[in-house]
Structure 1
Amino acid sequence: MFFADEASRGLGIELVEHGEGTAVLRMTVTPAMVNGHRIAHGGYLFLLADTAFACACNSHGPVTVAAGADIVFVAPAREGDVLVARAEERARYGRSGIYDVSVRRGGELIAEFRGRSRSVREDTAREAPGTTTKESR
């Protein structure tokens, strides 16, 4: 799924680790990602965390999308900072799941994200280029 995600890859986000219910991604804050306060725009931090969440919740196989998410910004990130987002599954029940993502710069916590996922029926999901569904295998 990550390799078909042009938005995330276009921003230089890298997939570092990926396992069942987990994912680790990395992003360097570029000059285009800072706001008028010269700190990383919160939307980019959310996008990094959301992408880690997406990789973790889609690791089980069925097409899974966000049902909701929120983020708490703890400390500012700045141009040149290398940020690492670590997503971990907290619970899965039926077609729903809860995932937490910590965004860090080195050992310092920058943001905490919680995502709520929902698996969708395969016949309702559209196949993305470069991916496969049961029907296309």
Structure 2
Amino acid sequence: MSAGETIDRAAVAEAAGRAMWADDQASRGLGMALIETGPGTATMTMTVTPAMTNGHGMCHGGYIFTLADSAFAFACNSHNTRTVAQHCAVTFIASGQRGDVLTATAREISRTGRSGICDVTVTNQAGTVIAVFRGHSRSLGGAVAADHPAL
């Protein structure tokens, strides 16, 4: 990059998202959709299928956690630096139901050195908060999308 050029952070985030999505068999296999990525952000959706319900007939918490974790992964990798989870916690607020379309909205709130913190809110199609998730990340170095700069 030459002096005076600016980096299009949104383009870098989109490229990193595309590169990750191409290899993310877990998220795709659960029917998740990557709606958007941006610098430090990501939005994903997933429809609760009958196979995702527990013995109470509601969405198993593990699927809700997985949706939030996937959104977290795309948000913290949006700077095109390979990054993984180091600690995550979820608080369930309401139950997800069969047929619900859950949306996980991730927003990075801190990124210092190799560590970051990202909050994810999971809502249903009515906007009801189903869960809140906090993920702590650790960057490993190296680019996610080889043809874009790591930021």
Of residues 76, 82, 89, the one that matches 1:57 is 76
Which residue of structure 2 aligns with residue 111 of structure 1? Answer: 131
Runs of 4+ more than 3 Å apart: 131-134
For 1:121, the aligned partner's letter is G
Root-mean-square deviation (CA, aligned residues, Å) is 1.4
TM-score (norm 2): 0.81
Which residue of structure 1 aligns with residue 141 of structure 2? Answer: 121
Of residues 62, 76, 86, the one that matches 1:67 is 86
- Partner Cα distance (1:2, 1:113) in 2: 21
**Gaps (5+ residues) in structure 1?**
126-130
**Gaps (5+ residues) in structure 2?**
1-19
- Partner Cα distance (1:46, 1:108) in 2: 16
- Partner Cα distance (1:33, 1:77) in 2: 10
Q: CA deviation at 1:133?
A: 4.1
Q: Secondary structure at the match of 1:60?
A: coil
Is 2:80–2:145's contact at 8 Å kept on the other side of the alignment?
Answer: no
TM-score (norm 1): 0.89
- 1:42 matched to 2:99? The reply is no
Is 1:3–1:9's contact at 8 Å kept on the other side of the alignment?
Answer: no
- Partner Cα distance (1:60, 1:132) in 2: 10
Q: CA deviation at 1:132?
A: 5.0
Q: Secondary structure at the match of 1:121?
A: coil
- Partner Cα distance (2:141, 2:25) in 1: 23
For 2:40, the aligned partner's letter is G
Which residue of structure 1 aligns with residue 5 of structure 2? Answer: none
- 1:91 matched to 2:87? The reply is no
Seq. identity, %: 56
- Partner Cα distance (1:67, 1:4) in 2: 21
Larger radius of gyration: 2
Q: Secondary structure at the match of 1:99?
A: strand
Which residue of structure 2 aligns with residue 31 of structure 1? Answer: 50
